[in-house]
Structure 1
Amino acid sequence: MNSTGHRLATTLDGSYPRPQLVRPAWLDLGGAWGFAFDDADVGRGQSWYAPDASFDGAIVVPFPPESSASGVGDPGFHPVVWYRRQLDPADLQAAGLGVQGERMMLHFGAVDYRADVWLAGQHLGHHEGGHTPFAFDVTDVLAQQPHRAWSLVVRAADDPHDIAQPRGKQDWQEQPHGIWYERTTGIWQPVWLEAVPQTFIAAVGWSCDLPAATVELALELSRRPVGPVTVTVNIEFAGEPLAQVQFTQHEPRTRTTISLQGQTNGQAYEALLWSPEKPRLLDVTLRVVFADGTSDEIQSYLGLRTVGWADGHFMLNDRPYYLRAVLDQGYWPDTHLAAPDAQALRDEVQLIQNLGFNSVRIHEKVEDPRFLYWTDRLGILVWAESPSAYEFSPTAVTRTTREWVEVIRRDESHPSLVIWVPLNESWGVQHIAHDPRQLDYARALYHLTKSLDPSRPVITNDGWEHADSDLWTIHDYGVSGDELKANYLDHHAVDDLMSGVGPLGRRMKLLDLPDRGQPVVVSEFGGISYAPANPGKSWGYVTAAKDTHFEDLLRDLFQALQSSPVLAGFCYTQLTDTGQEANGLTDTQRRPKLPLATIRAIVLGESLDISWHRRPKRAVEQVSIPKE
């Protein structure tokens, strides 16, 4: 049983799976399910989805079968897996979910890679894409046998050898090697039920125009309404009303501009702006009344802020803002890409902040929306990155583009998300430097992203071989401060680097376009391996022998970049040890390898004399929000 009650979205505990569209009653379907491998792919032909079928195995959802937390712990090649659990009418009633008079939606946060779903033997539908949500209306199936249990069955197909699938850091070999990790197959984000009216709010989106003192609501209904509907929107901050509007909607989708009169005072408008230092969120109650008298009400939130770039600076709220980012794989040793629980996601964001960073680059993964809830609420800027496919082909292009569009749609309203990264290090476009098709594809992804969301900077291909791009980002694993410092000493040094071959032997720019003043950011550096418990058995770009050596190396590399008068920021590799990589600032259990205060001082550059115009802003102290 789960209930958010009618509390405001920003006061919740972070467990609700879709934090910007909250309803009071929902049922978490995580926990024990039946489970079976189907290596020969015979299950569909043998009707494993039938109500009277059964599986001998068991699994704990939402943990992938490769992980120990799932209770299966089999990391081998298993391209097809099946799940089964019973839904009982008493379960629905206990959670406040009825069957008569309302619709019932079955939600999946993410299933890697293809999913087919049956309820009571009836096929609900199919979804392809391992990192994005989908849902089915199960009302009619439930109503056919309202006093009996229903059998819910999921078939997940995830071919470990299909390199045209967007897969990120999941290894195509049976054992992890290099910088690739064990796979995540099947269900890995929450599965849940919610009750909705016959017609309901299907999606909300938020954007803001600070000079105009307005926000825009994009409202989508589940179907075309029968007759006009009345929409009421209440926006407040810390209990203080900011705006209330009411309008009539005739179409299933509409965009409405809402004025925030208090924001027209140019001397006071910054009091409501969102930033890492002051992560202010505005609460929204949105109610829709339909022509037949039924209604739907949801809780949401938004943040007022702008992002962009100008004159070599990354800009936040029209002010230069120095990016102190850390690369996060979002991978846990016992649960893989799935988070151990909702609290772990909050703890991850808090850890990033406590270490002195103001930004996080989620690497080769689409992170759980509950993580973005905490980056919004605690105040950490997010770089959102597409999981890469490994080949360039019409299939890979189609899959990646479709899933990337779904990612943008899912996450575009989070104020903490400030940068889109559709490609990384030419993964999936390995021959972009001399294959015009691959270059065209990279440019198309850039412009597609800008067409869907013109409000955020887009990095076409993070690290090297840039086409059109709003930031020039460089991956530089120089092993000493002197080596790094030479590359970013002044504008001449950076211009020479960006116009030629970069630190890792790749051309930096592929197009002869005029410079528009884009910021330059070293978006990967460091990678220092320090694993005193496993010396010589871990991977990194440079190895530290003891803690004092690790501290000296860190300080040397950070100070080299912090002293540059050109760079607009950096991103350290990486937050945690992951798999065979021991190049984290913390171990796999998120324990810092040096005293937290020491790492924080290094990240903040507290011992370095930096010229005022490039001094990194000091991070806020730990934000303390009571657990609820």
Structure 2
Amino acid sequence: MTNLKRLGLMLLCLLIFKQSFSQENIPLPEHPRPDFEREAWLNLNGNWAFEFDKNDAGLTEKWFSGNKSFTKTISVPFPWGSSLSGVNDEADIAWYSRNINIKPEWKNKRVFVTIGASDWQTTVWLDGKELGSHQGGYTPFSFELTNLKYGTNQNLVIRVDDKRRDFTLYGKQGYGNARGLWQTIYVEARGQNFLENLHFTPDIDKKNVKVTAYLANASTKDLELKVEIGGNKKISVRQTFPKNKTEYSFVIPITTTHLWTLEDPYLYEVKAKLGDDEVKSYFGMRKISTVYLPNTNYMYVALNNKPIYLQLALDQSYHPTGFYTFPTDEFMKNEILLARNIGLNGIRTHIKVDVPRKLYWADKLGVLVMSDLPNFWGEPDKNAQQESEYTLKEMIKRDYNHPAIFSWITFNETWGLRSKQEINGKKESIYLPETQKWVASVYRLAKSLDATRLVEDNSICCGAGHTETDINSWHEYLPGEGWEKHLKTIDEKTFVGSNFHYEKGYLQTDVPNINSECGNVWGYEGSTGDVDWSWDYHRMMNTFRKYPKIAGWLYTEHHDVINEWNGYFRFDRSEKETGVSELVDGMGIKDFHSDIYLSTGNEISRSVKPKEEISVPLYLSVMTDKNLGKSLNLKIQMYGYDALGQKKTWGSISKTIPYQAWIQKELEPLKLTMPDEKSVVIVALIVEDNTGKTVHRNFATFIVEGNSPTEMTLLNGKKAKLLSFEAKNFSDSQWSKKQWNVLDGAKVNGAGAGYFEYKIKVPTDANLDKVMSASFVAEVSSKQLFAKDMDKTLAGNENYMLGAKAEPSQNKNAYPMTDTSRYPSAVSVKVNGIFAGKFDLTNDPADHRGILSWHYQIQDRKLREAGSYGYRLDINIPQKAIEVAQSSGELIIRLEVDEKLAGGLAIYGDKFGRYPMNPTVVLVY
């Protein structure tokens, strides 16, 4: 090979590498529509020249003509103002510009630019010629490039006007605005007569799929339409698309049907060719309907004619740095996996039309989706109605083929549906009868556009009701103890013909009754800030499974956002610790979502007496048709902590419980005898099938309220005298930031550097001269100084629905749940002035392990450091300190936090934390 040829080959390789590298390193390089994809396409994501138009001068000054030099660079498709975009939010109008070069081999095609979504009014020019303008913020639109110069750079300019308008579908963009381009922009080559849309309507009962092809403009001649469906046995069908038509349907038999299920989300891949236009797509053979839960008259949502107990999460679908836009395809895939991996079977994308590739991953991985129409925040005038109906039509058109979507929700909590009226001289917001009629008409519109899915007129809350709907849904946020009364009311008042939860003039029909938002985040006074949700969640799940008339629930929410911190995951998607795996070996959040569930009822902690005979209610809820025989094995284990924080086991038993597919049954209560000592008892319930496989774990806790012992036999068999004192009875304290007590001293807190000091009088019968060893035992943790505890005035709650930002711990009920961040503190212990030891406190945790912190909360819709708990400190007391106590008659114990690691200190009493003990001096003889 000559040197010249080598050089040419090197340059070619370099060019190919450069093109490949540049394509791979642009944001979101994947095709944005796996459900509607052409092979000839070019992704335009990446850096664009950018300019804000603060004075709206760009049109007058003809910035579209290329005479304006843009001074900023934005990373498309991230909305301006998001950190991933690279530009701050400085104005309501902005311009984008970049060169494009269309391949000469596309000459015989029609070339279009497609914008996945842009909020709100978007106008596009090519070399100064306007291609078109679009209004709307959530769905794709295309303009044909009609003045192309193939193989030559041409200037593409986009103007976006995102001024706030009361009628536009703003949703919850206060969490981070979707300003400007926020989904992938690309150019593609289409045929001369191209497919505008291709919809697949599966019919699993008849074993066929209806194919509907749409054209943007009717052809003047008949066109051949070829459809190839992949699978174990490929199917190829040729049809004639008639001239002068824009829509054509036909049916293809699928004789060997491979169903799309949650366990096996099989997708049929499709190639469709119309003349010189070719599109790839897919569909799932699945059916959405409603059926009765077997052996009941309770209507359920059904997948493939089987009832499915809905266990969903409200998904705000936000990203900290991209807002509406996710940084990578992998991140979107992981969003679906996060839900699936904790045992959920669906999500509700909340008042946002979600990104198609995220829906693709729901299709691919088997997670159901409720899809919301975003809301406007003004009044329901003609503009708002028009905007809503347009977006509804477009979202159904775009997302029709996604098997994961099982319902459309047209309105949420009557947001935007109330009109201001003057009543008795006062302005009030009223949900007017004429608006209700419009809402019912939108329900019917959705049904006319898609008869294959369920439609919800209004996901109701706050005094509003349903009109016409396929799902009788409702929202409720309550403290854990409130769920029994509420679900009992729902159970009693829900029946065909009832007007409960319906507007005047509308009555309940035979449709599934589901909760479509629940949790504790708004259940406490002023909400909860960031708090351990697992305790209340446990109580809520236990109660839902007692009431099978309610066909499912939807927890708020999948992940935290900037002003709601009640997600399963943090805003950055890091995990929170529930602590249940320490309470029951192997247990996780997934056990609260088991198809087979053994509930002990709403009350998961009870105060009992030593040696008391107790009865534990058991409710078996089976939401599966698995064939597991006629019985299950139930293992009951009793263990917990004594008054010195020592872990003890008090016994275990096994028994069988009846099993039947779909059974919902109250079982014979469990009879147990409590320990003869002050303790916290965990009663673990492990349900196994006949192969020994664990199918469910649950537990209940019992607080044995005996007297604090003065003597005890330790686990090592030695006798000990116990000198206990209350945490609040410190003789001295000094803290650099703040000192305060919780629940009348059940827990004492010191923030920053400082100390607590206790003086304990040694009783005359202590016989210190005979003590073989001594130790100091207490439950302690580090102590952050949260915003709510600072001695300064903080801003009050603002409009959270519109995204008012706040520090999570600012809320008076807040106590941030244990997560991957740690808040260490270094503590030294001195006894009678003699150094006893130094230890590091790793964290200031709060989760399900704080049993006593939850049990002793006052039930007044307020929380006082609920779920917080500490670690068991056991430190030897030096012999010299005992000798000093012999002469002085007292032990002075000081716990001091070092300034070098000043993470504060909390000391727990016997009615707070996880151990039923007060700080105690243990004297061993």
The match for 2:547 is: 564
The match for 1:626 is: none
Please, which of 421, 425, 433 is the counterpart of residue 413 of structure 2? 425
Please, which of 562, 579, 586 is the counterpart of residue 579 of structure 1? 562
Report the Cα distance in structure 1 between the residues aligned to 2:151 and 2:205, rounded to whole angstroms: 57
Deviation at 1:222, TM superposition (A): 4.2
SS in structure 1 at match of 2:65: coil
The match for 1:555 is: 538
The match for 1:9 is: none
Q: Is the 8 A contact 1:565 1:614 kept in 2?
A: no
The match for 1:153 is: 157
Q: Is the 8 A contact 1:539 1:582 kept in 2?
A: no
Please, which of 270, 279, 291 is the counterpart of residue 298 of structure 1? 279
Deviation at 1:467, TM superposition (A): 0.7
Q: After TM superposition, list the pairs within 5 Å mapping 1:509-528 onto structure 2.
A: 509-528=502-521
SS in structure 2 at match of 1:360: strand
Deviation at 1:412, TM superposition (A): 1.3
Give the structure with the larger strand fraction. Answer: 2
Q: Is the 8 A contact 1:349 1:374 kept in 2?
A: yes
Report the Cα distance in structure 2 between the residues aligned to 1:554 and 1:104, rounded to whole angstroms: 53
The match for 2:867 is: none
Q: Is the 8 A contact 2:114 2:185 kept in 1?
A: yes
Q: After TM superposition, list the pairs within 5 Å mapping 1:323-362 onto structure 2.
A: 323-362=310-349
Q: Is the 8 A contact 1:98 1:195 kept in 2?
A: no
Please, which of 379, 386, 391 is the counterpart of residue 403 of structure 1? 391
Structure 1 25/147 Cα, relative in aligned 2: closer, same or farther at 3 Å?
closer
Please, which of 309, 329, 334 is the counterpart of residue 290 of structure 2? 309
Deviation at 1:599, TM superposition (A): 2.0
In the superposition, the TM-score normalised over structure 2's length comes to 0.57
The match for 1:35 is: 50
The answer to whether structure 1 residue 260 and structure 2 residue 268 are counterparts is no
The match for 2:468 is: 468
Q: Which amino acid aligns with 1:468?
A: E
Please, which of 445, 449, 472 is the counterpart of residue 446 of structure 2? 449
Please, which of 569, 581, 591 is the counterpart of residue 601 of structure 1? 591
Deviation at 1:196, TM superposition (A): 1.9
Report the Cα distance in structure 2 between the residues aligned to 1:125 and 1:2, rounded to whole angstroms: 31
Please, which of 271, 275, 296 is the counterpart of residue 261 of structure 2? 275
Report the Cα distance in structure 1 between the residues aligned to 2:517 and 2:29, rounded to whole angstroms: 30
Structure 1 47/511 Cα, relative in aligned 2: closer, same or farther at 3 Å?
same
Structure 1 224/616 Cα, relative in aligned 2: closer, same or farther at 3 Å?
same
Report the Cα distance in structure 2 between the residues aligned to 1:14 and 1:494, rounded to whole angstroms: 52
The answer to whether structure 1 residue 375 and structure 2 residue 375 are counterparts is no
Structure 1 51/524 Cα, relative in aligned 2: closer, same or farther at 3 Å?
same
SS in structure 2 at match of 1:325: strand
Q: Is the 8 A contact 1:106 1:193 kept in 2?
A: yes
The match for 2:242 is: 250
Report the Cα distance in structure 2 between the residues aligned to 1:283 and 1:518, rounded to whole angstroms: 33
Deviation at 1:48, TM superposition (A): 0.8
Structure 1 433/163 Cα, relative in aligned 2: closer, same or farther at 3 Å?
closer
Percent sequence identity over matched residues?
A: 29
Q: Which amino acid aligns with 1:406?
A: E
The answer to whether structure 1 residue 100 and structure 2 residue 114 are counterparts is no
Deviation at 1:617, TM superposition (A): 8.3
Report the Cα distance in structure 1 between the residues aligned to 2:50 and 2:354, rounded to whole angstroms: 25
Q: Is the 8 A contact 2:530 2:566 kept in 1?
A: no
Q: Is the 8 A contact 2:517 2:554 kept in 1?
A: yes
Q: Pick which of 33-42 and 592-601 moved more.
A: 592-601
Superposed CA deviations along residues 249-281 of structure 1, whole A, max 9, x for unmatched, are 223434333332525xxxxx5xx1112121111
Structure 1 350/200 Cα, relative in aligned 2: closer, same or farther at 3 Å?
same
Report the Cα distance in structure 1 between the residues aligned to 2:491 and 2:331, rounded to whole angstroms: 44
Q: After TM superposition, list the pairs within 5 Å mapping 1:191-210 onto structure 2.
A: 191-210=185-204
SS in structure 2 at match of 1:192: strand
Unaligned 5+ runs, structure 1: 4-12, 172-180, 264-268, 290-294, 502-507, 531-537, 619-628
Q: Pick which of 124-133 and 34-43 moved more.
A: 34-43
Deviation at 1:336, TM superposition (A): 0.4
SS in structure 2 at match of 1:426: coil
Q: Pick which of 561-570 and 453-462 moved more.
A: 561-570
Q: Pick which of 553-562 and 122-131 moved more.
A: 553-562
Superposed CA deviations along residues 352-402 of structure 1, whole A, max 9, x for unmatched, are 111211011000100011111111111111101011011221111111111
Cα RMSD (Å) = 2.7
Q: Is the 8 A contact 1:328 1:574 kept in 2?
A: yes
The answer to whether structure 1 residue 285 and structure 2 residue 271 are counterparts is yes
Q: Is the 8 A contact 2:183 2:325 kept in 1?
A: yes
SS in structure 2 at match of 1:49: helix
Q: Which amino acid aligns with 2:590?
A: R
Report the Cα distance in structure 2 between the residues aligned to 1:444 and 1:553, rounded to whole angstroms: 38
Superposed CA deviations along residues 464-519 of structure 1, whole A, max 9, x for unmatched, are 41111111111110111x31122223775343999577xxxxxx210444533211
The match for 1:230 is: 224
Deviation at 1:288, TM superposition (A): 2.3
Structure 1 59/261 Cα, relative in aligned 2: closer, same or farther at 3 Å?
closer
The match for 1:623 is: none
Q: Is the 8 A contact 1:50 1:121 kept in 2?
A: yes
Structure 1 347/444 Cα, relative in aligned 2: closer, same or farther at 3 Å?
same
The match for 2:623 is: 615
Q: Is the 8 A contact 1:479 1:541 kept in 2?
A: no
Report the Cα distance in structure 1 between the residues aligned to 2:121 and 2:63, rounded to whole angstroms: 17
Deviation at 1:612, TM superposition (A): 6.5
- Higher RCO (C-alpha under 8 Å, 6+ residues apart): 1
SS in structure 1 at match of 2:598: coil
Deviation at 1:201, TM superposition (A): 2.0
Report the Cα distance in structure 2 between the residues aligned to 1:385 and 1:261, rounded to whole angstroms: 31
Please, which of 137, 160, 166 is the counterpart of residue 163 of structure 1? 166
Q: Which amino acid aligns with 2:382?
A: P
The answer to whether structure 1 residue 72 and structure 2 residue 87 are counterparts is yes
Structure 1 150/107 Cα, relative in aligned 2: closer, same or farther at 3 Å?
same
SS in structure 2 at match of 1:98: helix
Deviation at 1:424, TM superposition (A): 0.3
Question: Between Structure 1 and Structure 2, how many residues are aligned?
Answer: 557
Q: Pick which of 204-213 and 492-501 moved more.
A: 492-501
SS in structure 2 at match of 1:552: helix
Report the Cα distance in structure 1 between the residues aligned to 2:522 and 2:560, rounded to whole angstroms: 9
Q: Is the 8 A contact 2:291 2:305 kept in 1?
A: no
Q: Which amino acid aligns with 1:158?
A: D
Deviation at 1:54, TM superposition (A): 1.6
The answer to whether structure 1 residue 128 and structure 2 residue 135 are counterparts is yes
Structure 1 121/562 Cα, relative in aligned 2: closer, same or farther at 3 Å?
same
The match for 2:487 is: 488
Q: Which amino acid aligns with 1:343?
A: E
Q: Which amino acid aligns with 1:107?
A: T
Report the Cα distance in structure 1 between the residues aligned to 2:496 and 2:273, rounded to whole angstroms: 54
Report the Cα distance in structure 2 between the residues aligned to 1:430 and 1:213, rounded to whole angstroms: 45
SS in structure 2 at match of 1:343: helix
Superposed CA deviations along residues 144-196 of structure 1, whole A, max 9, x for unmatched, are xx453211111111113x2211111023xxxxxxxxx2322100000001112
Q: Is the 8 A contact 2:43 2:186 kept in 1?
A: yes
Report the Cα distance in structure 2 between the residues aligned to 1:490 and 1:614, rounded to whole angstroms: 22
Report the Cα distance in structure 1 between the residues aligned to 2:595 and 2:404, rounded to whole angstroms: 23
SS in structure 1 at match of 2:73: strand
Q: Is the 8 A contact 1:488 1:494 kept in 2?
A: no
Report the Cα distance in structure 2 between the residues aligned to 1:515 and 1:310, rounded to whole angstroms: 16
